[in-house]
Structures are given as structure tokens and as C-alpha cells.
Amino acid sequence: MIVLDRVGMTYEASSGPVEALRDISLTVARGELVALVGPSGCGKSTLLRIVAGLRAPTRGRVDVADHPVRGPVAEVGMVFQAPVLLHWRRVLENVLLPAELSGRDPRRYHERATQLLRLVGLEDFAAKRPRELSGGMQQRAALCRALLLDPPLLLMDEPFGALDAMTRDEMNLELLRVWGETAVDSPRKTVLFVTHSIPEAVLLADRVVVMTPRPGRIAATFDVPLPRPRGVETRADPRFGALSVRIYETLTADGRGGPGRG
Amino acid sequence: MFPSNGGRPLRDPVPGTGDPGLRAASVARAALDFSIPWYAHIWITTLEILGGFAVAGAVGVALGIAIAWSPTIARALVPFLVFVNTLPKVAVAPLFLLWLGYGLVPNMLIAALIGFFPVVINTAVGLTQIDDDLLDLGRVFGAPRWKVFLKIRLPNALPYVLSALKITATAAVVGAVVGEFVASQSGLGMVIVNAQTNLNTPVAFAALAWISIVGLALYGAVSLAARWLAPWAES
């Protein structure tokens, strides 16, 4: 679904060129959930925007759905760290926004929007304005918005990073449920999920890609051997802890300047 | 037309003398003394205020949109607008009179001139204070620029514009009265000027009371409209 081939990105800053990404090569298969983990400033958000076609890399090649990326990629769902809902619109109208922006008739998506809101437990809040909702509920609405047009690719940029720990756990399970449930009638979505939380990455992903900062490079990639469906009990699996520790060691080892193990 | 006190002896001719209660009573009496054609004066001044308010709102929003749309326009326009806004309106009012003659129009323009600036600035700010992620979202869905403008930028700017219009409502009152001060045949500002010439303090204060009532009414109307148009905004 996604092929990144030696992608590099250098910004022109006032203090001179800044290399944000170096030599990123990564392939994400259709239906795979891949987590990008790394400290702040490792360019993982930039990488996500490069995949979406919102920023152009200065080196390398990006293919999405077998086509080289030259501009914004259609059929992508995006979820950001903040819900960025339009606060003058009601929740349902917010979920319908992608249909309007892409020139489709929003009335045709009414049913799907309502169905998505029901899936995340917001059906009673469809007529509320975003500010009447809690942070977690707003992020659920943003997830519905990203899923409205049923995009095959979902790009998530620390979507639960601003939530408190309990809500975050809840949202992780919610995401897995939605990811699994929407897969009943259609092929499972490809998800690229940026986070700086190791447990979150391990709980969600099929594969965890560890990145290191300045310039952002891939230090290591780990397959997550945990069975699906995953839930609260997954954390008790000894493999969960073992893998989390290995990822942590890779992150900190590289922070001291050495190469990653793994 | 001319605010006389009907040949009665001047009441409280020197401000600040006499019993405060009596002074307040004499102002109230003057304000409700309908041998002075208060309705006509209020009507004229209100027309000037409303006209000035409408012009300031329309021109202000249009200029704000132009500034937000193109950085080049912004660079060319903003210094000129700042210049216009810093002109002392009392000093330019006589010029308007020379160019446009007596009547409602010059006073409306002075009211508009005093009130338009906050609308320009707030419109431009409201249109550009958009989360980058939201604009990315627009690009992902291939939304044309006008659609992003219509569905995201414009509604985002509305509360900003409405709060600027509250300032404009009060500024337009000042502008209309300043215009009438310079030269006018009617209106509450003219009443004040004439009452001052006759040392008729109660009538001058009565006119001020009427001006503030008009101002409060307009401010209240704009606030109500704002709450109705942008119920999501925290005012």
C-alpha cells in the first residue's frame, strides 16, 4: 500500500538547512497497522504528511496504492493530535465535512455518518456542538470524520497523545474495534500510526518502526507477535513486556549515539 | 428645530452649581420636553449612525477579505488603512462638508471612518487564524480554495467580525455626533452645540442622554444578533 524508498527531507531554516529525515525506506502492506515510534523531533509527523502528499520530500520516492505521490493523496483519512473539529458545526455535520469538501453530496453519507457515530458511542451527541463534548469524545468524532469516505488508508498523527491515560487506553481499544469491525464488509484498512508511547504502539500495531531524531532515521523494525483480537489482557502477555523493553532499549541506545539493536 | 427653553429663565446655567437632585430633575425635564423636537433629532442621528455602521461593516469586511486573500494586497493596503485610521476625524470632518455638502451623507461617512478599522483587522485575523491541520484536511479532500474559504475560513471569522461590529456600533455613534458638531441643521449633536451656545446645560445633558440611549440600543441589537448568528462563540 505504501512504499517509501530512501526518502529524505531537508528544510531551509533561517539558520541554514536542517535535515529532518534521512534515508527512510519502509513498505507497508495492505491491511497492515504500522506504528511509528520515536521521540519528539524525529520527523515522524513530517513523514506522515509526506505519505499523504501534503509535503514533498527532497529525496527519494513515495508510492501509495501503486502510484507515485505527486500531490495530496485522495482517499486518505487523517486524524491529528488535536481533534480540529469545526466548532460552529454540530458533530454530525463535522463528520460529513469530507463529503462536502470533496464535492460529494453530503446527504448520501448521512446514513454512514450516523452509523459511524453509533459505532463509537456518539449517536446521542450527533446534534451537539464539539465544545459540549469531552476531549475523548471529540477525538472519536474526528475518527468518524476520517472514516466517512471509507478510505483504504488511515494516517494518524499521535491521535490520542493529548488525552489522559485512561481515556487513551479506552481509545486504543476503540480504534482496534473500529478497525476490526469496519473490516467486516470491506478489506481491512492500512493504518500508519504515529506515537511516542511504546505501550500504545505495541498494543495496536502489527509492526513497530522505531525512529531516531536529527535527522530522523529508522533505527529498527519489530514485528509484534501478539494475537488478535487484542484487549486489556494483551498487556499481561509476557511478550508484550519483553517487546516494550526491547523497543525502549533501541530508543535509548540510539539516543546515546550508538546504532539500534533489533 | 432650535432648542430654546421657551423664554423661561435659564435653569442651572453654570454646570456644577446647585443641588444635584434639582440638576438631574432639570435634565430629565429637558429630555422629556417635547416642545424640543427630540424625535426628529433622534431620527436623524440614528439614520447617520446606522448608515455609518453599515458602510463601516461592509467596507471593513471587504477590505479584511482582500487582506487575508493576498499578502501583496495586505502589504499595499495596511499602511494606508493605518494612516486613514490615525487621521483625527474631527479635523477631516470640515473637508467632508466642503466636498459633500450638508446633510446625512457626510456625517454617515465620518461615522463609517471612525468605525471601520476594527472590522478590517478582525476580519483578516479571523480568516487566517485557522489550524494548519484543518487546511491540510481541505487539501487531502481536494477542496478548491473558494470552498475552504466558504466552509472553513468564513465561519471561523464570523465571531471575530461580530465582536468588531460591537466596537463599530459605539464608534459610529461618536462619529455621527462629531459630524453634527462641525456643521448640521439637525440631530442630537447639533442640539448639544446650540444648547452650549445658549448656556442651556440641561438641554445639552438631555441630548447626551438620548445619544447614549441610541448607542446602548444599537450595541444591544448587535450583541443579540451576534448571539443569534454565532451561538457557538464564547462571547
pLDDT at residue B67, as a whole number: 94
Type of residue numbered B23: R
The secondary element (H helix, E strand) that includes residue B139 is helix B132-140
A117 & A54 share domain? no
CB-CB under 8 Å, B151 with A72:
no
- Whether the CB-CB separation of B89 and B175 falls below 8 Å is answered with yes
Neighbours of B8 (CB within 10 A): 7
CA distance B168 to chain A (A): 24
CB-CB under 8 Å, B232 with A88:
yes
The residue of chain B with its CA nearest to that of A99 is B141
Q: Which of A72, A78, A86 sits opposite B152 (nearest CB)?
A: A86
- Residue A80 falls inside a structural domain: no
Cell numbers given for B219:
450595541
Higher confidence at residue B146 or residue B11? Answer: B146
- Whether the CB-CB separation of B111 and B184 falls below 8 Å is answered with no
Instruction: Give the ipTM of the model, two decimals please.
Output: 0.78
> How far is Cα A67 from Cα B137, in angstroms, rounded to an integer?
21
Q: What is the pLDDT of residues A73-88, one digit of tens each?
A: 888 899 998 999 999 9
A199 & A214 share domain? yes
Residues of B in contact with A74 (CB under 8 A): 140-142
Residues of B in contact with A86 (CB under 8 A): 134, 151-152, 155-156
> How far is Cα A257 from Cα B81, in angstroms, rounded to an integer?
55
CB-CB under 8 Å, A97 with B142:
no
- Residue A146 falls inside a structural domain: yes
A137 & A190 share domain? no
User: What integer is the mean pLDDT of B72-101?
Assistant: 88
Q: Domain of residue A118: give its range.
A: 85-150
Type of residue numbered A165: A
Residues 98-137 of A with CB under 8 A from B: 98, 100-103, 129, 131
- Whether the CB-CB separation of A32 and A18 falls below 8 Å is answered with no
Cell numbers given for A6:
530512501
Domain final position from A93, A115, A150: A150
pLDDT at residue A119, as a whole number: 84
Q: What is the pLDDT of residues A8-30, one digit of tens each?
A: 999 888 888 988 999 999 999 98
CATH code for the domain in which residue A223 is found: 3.40.50.300
Cell numbers given for A260:
539500534
Cell numbers given for A161:
497523545
pLDDT by residue for chain A (262 residues), tens only, comes to 899 999 999 988 888 898 899 999 999 998 899 999 988 878 888 999 999 999 999 999 999 988 898 888 888 899 998 999 999 999 999 999 999 998 899 999 999 999 989 888 899 999 999 999 998 899 999 999 999 998 889 999 999 988 888 888 888 988 888 887 666 666 788 999 999 899 999 999 999 999 988 889 999 999 999 988 888 889 899 999 999 999 999 988 855 544 443 3
Q: What is the pLDDT of residues B170-193, one digit of tens each?
A: 999 999 999 898 878 889 999 999
Could you write out the three-class secondary structure of chain A? CEEEEEEEEEEEECCEEEEEEEEEEEEECCCCEEEEECCCCCCHHHHHHHHCCCCCCCEEEEEECCEECCCCCCCEEEECCCCCCCCCCCHHHHHCHHHHHCCCCHHHHHHHHHHHHHHCCCHHHCCCCHHHCCHHHHHHHHHHHHHCCCCCEEEEECCCCCCCHHHHHHHHHHHHHHHHHCCCCCCCCEEEEEECCHHHHHHHCCEEEEEECCCEEEEEEEECCCCCCCCHHHHHCHHHHHHHHHHHHHHHHHHCCCCCCC
- Residue A261 falls inside a structural domain: no
Q: Is A84 on the interface with B (CB under 8 A)?
A: yes
pLDDT at residue B18, as a whole number: 66
- How many structural domains is chain A composed of? 2
Kindly list the domain boundaries of chain B, sorted by start residue: 37-229
- Residue A192 falls inside a structural domain: yes
- Residue A12 falls inside a structural domain: yes
A161 & A214 share domain? yes
pLDDT at position B9 over 70: no
Closest Cα to residue A178, out of A150, A214, A208?
A: A150
Type of residue numbered B120: V
Best residue of B130, B139, B141, B148 to probe chain A, by most A CBs closer than 10 Å: B141
pLDDT at position B137 over 70: yes
pLDDT at residue A261, as a whole number: 39
> How far is Cα A64 from Cα A87, in angstroms, rounded to an integer?
32
Domain final position from A150, A172, A188: A150
pLDDT at residue A122, as a whole number: 92
Higher confidence at residue A31 or residue B17? Answer: A31
Q: Find where cell 445633558 sits.
A: B205
The CATH number assigned to the domain with range B37-229 reads: 1.10.3720.10
Domain final position from A109, A124, A150: A150
A171 & A248 share domain? yes
A&B contacts, CB < 8 Å: 60
Cell numbers given for B128:
487566517
Q: Kindly tell me the sign of the dihedral angle through the C-alpha atoms of B33, B37, B42, B45.
A: negative
A183 & A53 share domain? yes
Higher confidence at residue A223 or residue B100? Answer: A223
> How far is Cα A129 from Cα A147, in angstroms, rounded to an integer?
19
> How far is Cα A10 from Cα A166, in angstroms, rounded to an integer?
38
